[in-house]
């Protein structure tokens, strides 16, 4: 059972998650994994990086510092960009927006460049899915994509509040950084130990990202921060609880 759970999750689960999934004691699972020789993938330790914000546009304040942790889904969204290496050299880029409460990746986009269109498409995906409330905080770093006219006009049109990390302080946006670390580590297949997966081309990167984000991370992967449930399952539990108590909140809809 331990071996099967480990393989089904492609080496992404350690003893804690396997024990929770199988309803077994963690120490027993850890002993069995050691005896069988099962070692889970470990993401690289989070290291803060500074963003190239060499622009003269107005910086938005950090609204998360005073807002505190969100009580429901759709209130606070964090976004960021990372690079994905391509076989033969070169890179493509992944932009994501993640719900701070449920951990769900609500919107994402992959392209060959880091133009503003990359983050606009990712945010538009979240809005089309009706996963962001009106007046929600959208928090990112100070990158040039997030001060572009296209991005800011989308925020304004949908009644969203822009928030940015402090200068050179990536811990303000640690959740987004943490996801990228997990994403790059857990996309490694079961028969290789390369630290960062390389993709054949843009289409391959999109295919693998869709499979991981929509098919696994949001729907299947257990998250300790939300009671060892998947983001979508946790979101459903919140919706059921809130629907019994109050009317449904007002969400943004992108037409």
The SS3 call for residue 25 is coil
> CATH 3.30.420.10: does it fit domain 64-245?
yes
**pTM beyond 0.95, yes or no:** no
* Domain range annotation of the chain: 2-36, 64-245
CA–CA separation, 124 vs 43, rounded Å?
29
CA–CA separation, 47 vs 44, rounded Å?
8
Q: What does the pLDDT profile of the chain (255 residues) look like in tens digits?
A: 999 988 888 777 888 888 888 888 988 988 988 898 888 877 655 444 434 455 557 899 999 988 888 989 999 999 999 999 898 888 999 999 999 999 999 999 999 999 999 999 999 999 999 999 999 999 999 999 999 999 999 999 999 999 999 876 656 678 888 899 889 888 755 445 555 677 999 999 999 999 999 999 999 999 989 999 999 999 999 988 876 666 656 777 665
Could you tell me where the beta strands, DSSP code E, fall in the chain? Answer: 76-85, 91-99, 105-111, 137-140, 161-164
Task: Give the residue from 189, 164, 160 showing the smallest Cα distance to 252.
Answer: 160
């Amino acid at each position: 059972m331990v071996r099967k759970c480990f393989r089904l999750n492609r080496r992404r689960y350690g003893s804690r998650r396997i024990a929770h999934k199988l309803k077994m004691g963690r120490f027993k699972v850890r002993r069995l994994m050691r005896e069988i020789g099962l070692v889970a993938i470990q993401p690289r330790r989070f290291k803060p990086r500074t963003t190239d914000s060499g622009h003269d546009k107005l910086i938005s304040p950090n609204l998360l510092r005073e807002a505190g942790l969100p009580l429901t889904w759709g209130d606070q969204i964090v976004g960021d960009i990372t690079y994905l290496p391509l076989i033969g050299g070169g890179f493509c880029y992944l932009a994501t927006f993640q719900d701070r409460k449920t951990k769900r990746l609500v919107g994402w986009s992959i392209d060959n460049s880091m133009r503003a269109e990359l983050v606009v498409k990712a945010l538009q995906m979240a809005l089309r899915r009706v996963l962001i409330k009106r007046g929600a905080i959208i928090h990112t770093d100070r990158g040039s994509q997030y001060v572009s006219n296209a991005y800011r006009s989308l925020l304004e049109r949908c009644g969203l509040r822009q928030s940015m990390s402090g200068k050179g302080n990536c811990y303000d946006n640690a959740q987004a950084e943490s996801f990228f670390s997990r994403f790059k580590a857990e996309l490694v297949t079961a028969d290789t130990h390369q630290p960062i997966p390389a993709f054949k081309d843009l289409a391959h990167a999109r295919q693998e990202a869709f499979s991981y984000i929509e098919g696994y991370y949001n729907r299947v992967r257990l998250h300790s921060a939300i009671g060892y449930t998947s983001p979508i399952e946790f979101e459903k539990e919140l919706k059921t609880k809130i629907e019994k108590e109050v009317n449904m909140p007002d969400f943004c809809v992108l037409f």
